[in-house]
Amino acid sequence: MLLLTLFVIVVALVFEYINGFHDTANSIATTVSTKVLTPRQAILWAAGFNLVGALWGTAVATTIGKGMVDTGFVTTQVIFSALLAAIVWNLLTWWLGLPSSSSHALVGGLCGSTLANAGGKWSVIHWAVTDPVTHKVSGLWPKVVMPMFISPVVGILVGFLLMALLTMLIKRWRPRIINAIFGKLQIVSAGVMGFSHGTNDAQKTMGIIALILFSATKTDAFAHLPACLQFLYTPEFKIATWIKVACALTMCAGTAAGGWRIIRTLGHKMVRLQPVHGFAAESTAAGIILFASHWGIPLSTTHVISSAIMGVGATKRLSAVKWGIVGRMVWAWVLTIPVTALLAYWTQRALLGFGP
């Protein structure tokens, strides 16, 4: 059981690494497409800020770890099924160059595998739960599903309004001055975008690893741990410092590896951008993601930056956005949770079939 737990922790870190290069485009696509930074410079810039952001807070990690499903039905095997489904979906969408959500892939996988382990009891999915003390509502609906629909709309509207305001302010400026000023400002906005990405995306795997350890401790898997592994034992759900550091470094490494297929889709194919557009899109997305991270909402950074780019691009003219590509992205967004839930559900059912 100990070896299985350690193996699943490694799988979780593999997911975090894939998440890093899958979502690299979120932080750097606009910076690369506007030629403010070279691809290598942009990746290193984003990786550094991803690292700092990943070490900042644990609200999102707590939501993922114990806010989506009944932890009484979560085992190490269940988490493995969830991670495997999310990894398969991430690699498929990366290969197709579609900026889908790693966050929603992980949530869908966790819900599907837990449902399978509970024998199809839908009550194990925390749809909407009110805390009797704080009266705060948590669960799949307020933390994932509702933001999934609201955040792209907000991204489009705020991106459009911010770009419209900037257009009014700089309409008398010379193009050379605009590009020079916003080229520098875009470097700052890309850094903030990288930081916000770290505060949200890296924390999801932190929550999963904490849940792995908590579940393994409950089943006495750590009853006879050697002294060098005593740090794994945890009688309560908590995000230990070593988990934060491991996930932060792994995501940083994944970000440094780059994700060129998705970068081309976001930065070049969807709409043609100048530095001022890149600044507006990144500023919009970073603000929304930081707000969500503060409230423990595992937002899709992919959805937010993509919708912000759409909103910014639409200020030129609606035809400036290549809506055919947008349509393919929307399908990927809509399918992510149900597909990963089904994959994880049948993976877990298969693993249960091999059990005693």
- Looking at the predicted structure, is the pLDDT value of residue 158 above 90? yes
Domain locations in the chain as residue ranges: 2-354
Q: Please give the pLDDT value at position 26.
A: 61
- Which tokens belong to 126? 């925390």
Question: What pLDDT, in 10s, does the model give residues 328-353?
Answer: 667 777 889 999 999 999 999 999 88
Question: What pLDDT, in 10s, does the model give residues 175-194?
Answer: 889 889 998 998 999 899 88
Question: What pLDDT, in 10s, does the model give residues 72-114?
Answer: 898 889 999 999 999 999 888 878 777 677 888 989 999 999 9
Question: What pLDDT, in 10s, does the model give residues 115-149?
Answer: 999 999 999 998 887 777 777 777 888 888 888 88
Q: What is the DSSP letter of 266?
A: I
| C-alpha angle 337-343-349 in degrees, rounded to nearest 5 | 130
Q: Please give the pLDDT value at position 164.
A: 93
- Looking at the predicted structure, is the pLDDT value of residue 269 above 60? no
* Cα 279 to the center of its chain, rounded Å: 21
pTM confidence score? 0.82
- Which tokens belong to 195? 């930081």
Q: Please give the pLDDT value at position 319.
A: 65
User: Alpha helices of 75-145 — where are they, by DSSP H?
Assistant: 76-96, 102-117, 140
Q: Please give the pLDDT value at position 342.
A: 96
What single letter denotes the amino acid at residue 140?
L
